[in-house]
A and B are shown apart, each in its own frame.
Chain A
Amino acid sequence: MPINPKAKLAENILDLKTIEQFPTRKGYGEGLLEAGEKNEKVVALCADLTESTKMDLFAKKFPERFIQMGVAEQNLATVAAGLANYGKIPFISSYAMFSPGRNWEQIRTTICYNNVPVKIAGSHSGVSVGPDGATHQAIEDIALMRAIPNMTVIYPADMHEAKKATIAAVGIDGPVYLRFAREKTPVFTTAETPFEIGRAEAIWDVEDSSSETSGPQLIDVAIVACGPLVHNALLAAAELEKEGIKVRVINNHTIKPMDEKTIIKAARDAGAVVTVEEHQVHGGMGSAVAEVLAKNYPVPMEFIGVQNRFGESGTASELVEHFGMGADSIKKAVLKVIGRKPQAVEKS
Chain B
Amino acid sequence: MPHLHEEKIKFLEQKANDIRQSIIEMLVEAGSGHTAGPLGMADVFTAFYFHILNHDPKNPLMTDRDRLILSNGHICPVQYATLAHAGYFPIEELKTLRKFGTRLQGHPHRTSLPGVETTSGPLGSGLSQSSGYAYGARMDGKKFRVYCLMSDGEQDAGNTWEAAMFAGKYKLNNLTAVIDRNNIQIDGMTENIMPLENLRAKYEAFNWHVLEIDGHNFEEIVNAAEEAKAIYEKPTIIIAHTIPGKGIKEIEFDYKWHGIPPNKEQAAKFLSELRTLGGKIRSEHQ
Interface residues of A (CB under 8 A from B): 43, 64-65, 67, 69-70, 72, 74-75, 78-88, 90, 105-106, 109-110, 113-115
Contacts and interface: CB of A to CB of B under 8 A. Distances in A.
B90 interface: no
Contact of B165 (A43, A72, A83): A72
B158 A82 contact: no
Interface in B59-108: 69
19 contacts: A43-B139, A65-B139, A72-B166, A74-B159, A75-B165, A78-B129, A78-B132, A79-B163, A80-B132, A81-B125, A85-B117, A86-B132, A90-B132, A106-B122, A106-B159, A109-B121, A109-B125, A110-B119, A110-B125
B130 interface: yes
A75 B135 contact: no
Contact of A78 (B117, B137, B159): B159
Contacts of B120: 109
Contacts of B135: 67, 79, 82-83
A105 B119 CA distance: 12
B204 interface: no
Contacts of A64: 139
Contact of A86 (B109, B124, B137, B165): B137
Nearest to B127: A78
6 tightest Cβ-Cβ pairs between the two chains A and B? A82-B132, A75-B162, A78-B128, A79-B132, A86-B136, A82-B129
A82 B131 contact: yes
B128 A79 contact: yes
B118 interface: yes
B133 interface: yes
B125 A106 contact: yes
Given A78-B163, A82-B129, A110-B119, 19 more contacts: A43-B136, A65-B139, A74-B128, A75-B159, A75-B162, A75-B163, A78-B132, A79-B129, A79-B132, A82-B130, A82-B133, A82-B136, A83-B132, A85-B129, A85-B133, A88-B136, A106-B159, A110-B118, A110-B129
A235 B134 CA distance: 51
Contacts of B111: 114-115
Which DSSP category, helix, strand, loop or mixed, fits chain B's interface?
Answer: helix
A109 B105 CA distance: 14
Interface in B121-154: 121-122, 124-125, 128-137, 139
A109 B110 CA distance: 11
Interface of B: 69, 109-111, 117-122, 124-125, 128-137, 139, 158-159, 162-163, 165-166, 170
Contacts of B162: 70, 72, 74-75
User: Which of A64, A79, A88, A90: most chain B CB closer than 10 A?
Assistant: A79
Nearest to B158: A74
B128 A85 contact: no
A86 B133 contact: yes
B182 to A, nearest CB: 24
A85 B118 contact: yes
Contact of B125 (A69, A70, A78, A88): A78
Nearest to A69: B166
A48 to B, nearest CB: 12
A117 B170 CA distance: 23
Contacts of A74: 124-125, 128, 158-159, 162
A79 B139 CA distance: 14
A79 B122 contact: no
A111 to B, nearest CB: 10
Contacts of B122: 105-106, 109
Nearest to B142: A86
B150 to A, nearest CB: 13
